[in-house]
Amino acid sequence: MTKASDLFIQCLEEEGVEYIFGVPGEENLDMLDSLSRSTAIQLILTRHEQGAGFMAATYGRHTGKAGVCMATLGPGATNLVTAAAYAQLGGMPILMVTGQKPIKKSKQGRFQILDVVDMMKPLTKFTHQLASADNIPSRVREAFRLAEEEKPGATHIEFPEDIAEERTESMPLKRSHARRPNADVKSIRAAVHALEKAKSPILVIGAGANRTMTCRMLNQFIEKTGIPFLTTQLGKGVIDERHPKFVGCAALSAGDFVHRAVEAADLIVNIGHDVIEKPPFFMQPGGAQVIHISSKTAEVDPVYFPQIEVVGDIANAIWQIKQDIVPNGSWSFDAILAARKGQIAHTASISGDARFPIFPPFLVEQVREAMPENGIICLDNGIYKIWFARDYPAYRPNTVLLDNALATMGAGLPSAMASAMVYPDRRVMAICGDGGFMMNSQEMETAVRLKLNLTVLILKDNSYGMIRWKQSNMGLKDWGLTYGNPDFVKYTESYGAFGHRVESAEHLKELLAHTRDTPGVHLIDCPVDYSENDQILNIDINRLSRELQPLSLSPASAESGMPTGSFK
């Protein structure tokens, strides 16, 4: 007979779990005791459950295996809610395990008791309360299976303390080997026929394409056909963005050079599209035809109703299309590639501005120069995310981790910590606003305790800059969004990390190189100048991209900066 908590840990070991991130409570003590005897799984004690959840989700994003996090009942479980949504919307496999009071005999009335399973239902692919030790192997296997299958996401198991004490003869179940179904041959043929007939096709690479095999197949497809491609924010790095057919990343919602490239296409191939992300184009009747290639059917929307759907394993679908297609010698990509040249020219014209506080285009260029080819940047959520998504070229998959799904603040530092654990030989940088950093800054202690090597770049403007920008753009009074900050250098040093303060543009270059090459946890306090955000992102780019090539604009769209056709 095996104790239930021991069996639970054995099941996790069978799934190949390396870490459990979390903040244990009284109701987790049996599981904690069983974990203490595991030689395969390491407990990563964090300072907040949200940080544990973000770390587990990022582990899942990098590895494809469900990251595991632990919390107690009540407030511990509620602190995992944001991480659950982060993983679920972002397509990151995660298993959350929460404790609970005894379910067969109450000891303390309703103290701290919430219906956590019901709370997690809207946020997960699977949630279950264990009511018998005998069912642990099947419920754990099901949680991992669902977390990891397409689209990956969040699962949850509640483990009551009286169940954890039970004895059972059950044994762990082996992992199943499953292959995703291949797309139907007729749908492949329809896609090939549409591509061969098109005059100017374009590829849009989304979050679902960010898988190792898909990257390789897409590279081969682009090399054979020469069709240009752009990415969504969650598709960055699927193909090396130094590729001559790269058009750009849809960082802004509309009016950018990349949107002009989409308008120049008569056929749009959406690869791994997810409606969670802001679409880089909106369909309209009579606009460009759209092919949807994904592991699941399209979620039809008033602005998304693809005419051709290729549903199945994305990598295999791309391979089938590549094998069948005969490149069309009359394809013309001049207008599409001209849009990319326009963006490069505009970025080059402003990125050399070495003012202080630091100008965002200069900042992005310096970070790219400082980071190795396989270096990983992990962005929190703020206005800087647009600058980096748009102007920071990703050379490899999952080297630019940003969240354009839940878009939560507070995830940048934990995400970088998990990245440094998964890839200890690669350089990792968290890029956070002062607001987002302070939401989980306590995890600096965890990073120091784990002896991680990473840099935390704090972009300081003493305000919730993204919302302040939107407030200004709406013509509203600048009010209610500014605050004070601690001395970030002293704050960092109090945790035993290394603190640095940027004093000039040249000093920024020096600090980026120093922190990259020096072991340990480093924080760089970098003042930024966001004063031209509105002028550049909302006005200049829109005007320059419209001037780039002749576009048919109706009076209404000209006023709003939104061209007519297949997108807004």
User: Residue 274: its pLDDT value, please?
Assistant: 85
Ranges 84-93, 546-555, 556-565, most confident: 84-93
Are β-strands 167-168 and 2-3 bridged in parallel, bridged antiparallel, or unpaired? antiparallel
Dig out the tokens for 133 from the structure: 């030790």
User: Residue 109: its pLDDT value, please?
Assistant: 64
User: Residue 213: its pLDDT value, please?
Assistant: 73
- Region 220-228 average pLDDT: 97
Q: How far apart are CA 414 and CA 517, in angstroms?
A: 21
User: Residue 107: its pLDDT value, please?
Assistant: 67
Please report which confidence band the pLDDT of residue 552 belongs to, taking 50, 70 and 90 as the band edges: very low
Q: Which residues contact 388 (CB under 8 A, 6 or more apart)?
A: 364, 367, 377, 379, 400, 402, 431
User: Residue 375: its pLDDT value, please?
Assistant: 98
Give the DSSP H/E element, type plus range, for residue 213: helix 212-225
Single-letter residue type at 331: W
Residue 310 has pLDDT above 90, yes or no: yes
Q: What is the pLDDT of residues 258-272, one digit of tens each?
A: 999 999 999 999 999
Strands (E) in 67-189, as ranges, are 67-71, 94-100, 126-129, 154-160, 167-168
Predicted model pTM: 0.94
In what side-by-side order are the strands of the sheet with 154-160? Answer: 42-45, 19-23, 67-71, 94-100, 154-160, 126-129
- Region 418-446 average pLDDT: 98
Dig out the tokens for 66 from the structure: 């469900």
User: Residue 299: its pLDDT value, please?
Assistant: 86
Least confident stretch, 173-187, 273-287, 335-349, 433-447? 273-287
Residue 389 three-state SS: helix
- Given a contact cutoff of 8 angstroms between Cβ atoms, the answer to whether 229 and 222 are in contact is yes
- Residue 34 has φ and ψ, to the nearest 5°, of -65, -40
User: Residue 551: its pLDDT value, please?
Assistant: 43
Helix, strand and coil percent figures for the chain, each rounded to 5: 40, 15, 40
User: Residue 567: its pLDDT value, please?
Assistant: 30
Are β-strands 428-433 and 376-379 bridged in parallel, bridged antiparallel, or unpaired? parallel
Dig out the tokens for 218 from the structure: 């897409």
Q: How far apart are CA 395 and CA 463, in angstroms?
A: 32
HSE toward the beta carbon, residue 177, CA cutoff 13 A: 0
Give the DSSP H/E element, type plus range, for residue 412: helix 412-422
Give the DSSP H/E element, type plus range, for residue 180: none
Please report which confidence band the pLDDT of residue 285 belongs to, taking 50, 70 and 90 as the band edges: confident
User: Residue 472: its pLDDT value, please?
Assistant: 85
Number of C-beta neighbours around residue 424 at 10 A: 11
DSSP state of 304: B
Residue 19 three-state SS: strand
- Given a contact cutoff of 8 angstroms between Cβ atoms, the answer to whether 68 and 95 are in contact is yes
Closest to 432 in 3D by CA, of 423, 441, 424: 441
- Given a contact cutoff of 8 angstroms between Cβ atoms, the answer to whether 144 and 175 are in contact is yes
- Region 462-475 average pLDDT: 89
User: Residue 46: its pLDDT value, please?
Assistant: 98
Q: Where are the alpha helices (DSSP H) in 4-129?
A: 4-14, 29-36, 49-63, 75-78, 81-90, 116-120
Q: How far apart are CA 4 and CA 169, in angstroms?
A: 9
